[in-house]
Structure 1
């Protein structure tokens, strides 16, 4: 079960002339390498949810992606591309001497993990795709379906503000808040690591790559689709999603059907963060998968 643990080591790594900070827990020979969501979020929320895997003998590594947390925060928007983040991830892996890893990508970190897996397949022991997608145009259709549940008048109001670019209007923000509590985290009080990450969100990478909020994708990833490439991923894959996830079970199934060696877990009473919303089902599923595919 998750708990906040002090990292055993804090690493400063140079990436493209910038400083990136990584955190390491445990000394196990199998490493779970965590890629958090965002883009633009510090890794706190995902790091604190998975550092407890040290109890099962794993080493756990997470890092603040460039532009987030304790890492440098340049303002050059040309840096915010998935290809550059793939190379950053590889730089961190090599700098820490991680060898083959169990790569765990959540949300945007899952998109990053997919592109990493297609670029550096030899470095993966397994791939764990949590609350993520491989087909952005399909996700956009799914988000329209979730938004429609708010009712036609509310959807029309949201579309009006999106057309005008008035994303900070109170009525628009109110609709997004409802969607967040339905499809991002269904807990009445969000855990401290989640709040910490959200309170330190760098919107520069987020708006460049995704858009102004979780339910409007207009950034440079809006046409990203790796489903045709997924048959090339040969490593064992675990796909997880919440039954109410913003990145929906239909998106998860689309990945499973395209991958040659994948299993899918849908967690009840959870949305985008099953590790906090339904930990009693989440952790046994994750630990079982990891134990069946240990390198040692």
Structure 2
């Protein structure tokens, strides 16, 4: 089960002339390399949910992506692209001498992990795609379905504010809050690492790449779709999602059907963060997958 653990090592890696901070836990021969969601979030929430894998003999590595957390925060929108983040991830892997890793990408980190796997497949032992998608236009349709459950009047109100760009209007924010508690984290009190990441969110990368909130995709990733490329991802893949996830089980199934060597687990009583919402089911699934794909 998750708990907050101090990292054994803290690294500063130069990427594109900027400083990126990475954290390492344990010293096992098998490394779980975590790519957190956002974009624009510090890695706290994902790091704290997976550092406990040291108890099972794994090394766990996470890093604050450029623009987040303890890493540098340049104000240059040209930096906020998935291709640049792929190269940043590879720079961190090389700098820490990680060798072949089990790459675990959550949410936006899953999009990043997919593009990394297509670019550097030789560096991956396995791929773990958590609460993520590979087809943004399909996700947009799914989000419209989730929003529709709020009722026609509320959806019309949201569309009005989106047309006007008044994303900070109280009634619009109230609707987004309801969706967050339904489809992002269903716990009445969100865990401290989640709050810590959210309180330190850099909206610059997020707005540039995704949009103003979790339910409106208008950034530079809005047309991103890797479904046609997924047959090239031949390493073992674990796909996980929550039954109420904003990045829905239908999105997860779409990935599974396109991948040649994938398995899919949908967690009950969970949305976008099963590792916090249903840890009793989540950790056994993850550990079983990792144990089956260790280096022989």
1:23 Cα shift?
0.1
Deviations 1:141-188 (A, max 9, x none): 000000000000000000000000000000000000000000000000
The one-character-per-residue Cα deviations of 1:199-240 (angstroms, maximum 9, x if unpaired) are 000000000000000000000000000000000001000000
Within 2, Cα distance between the matches of 1:59 and 1:294? 13
Tell me the TM-score normalised to structure 1 length: 1.00
Residue aligning to 2:211:
211
2:267, 2:260 → 1: CA distance? 22
| Unaligned residue ranges in structure 2 (runs of 5+) | none
Partner of 1:194: 194
1:72 aligns with 2:72: yes
| C-alpha separation in 2, matches of 1:68 and 1:295 | 33
Is residue 152 of structure 1 aligned with residue 152 of structure 2?
yes
Q: Secondary structure at the match of 1:266?
A: strand
CA distance, structure 2, for counterparts of residue 113 and residue 63 of structure 1: 14
Q: Secondary structure at 2:144's aligned position in 1?
A: helix
Mapping of residues 1-296 of structure 1, within 5 Å = 1-296=1-296
- What CA deviation, in whole Å up to 9, does each residue of 1:97-127 have, x standing for no partner? 0000000000000000000000000000000
Q: Secondary structure at the match of 1:31?
A: strand
- Per-residue deviation at 1:22? 0.1
C-alpha distance in structure 2 between counterparts of 1:84 and 1:274, whole Å: 29
Matched positions, count: 296
Offset of 1:295 from its aligned partner?
1.3
**SS state at 2:88 partner:** helix
What 5-or-longer segments of structure 1 have no aligned partner?
none
C-alpha separation in 2, matches of 1:235 and 1:49: 24
Secondary structure of the 1:10 match is strand
Q: Secondary structure at the match of 1:3?
A: coil
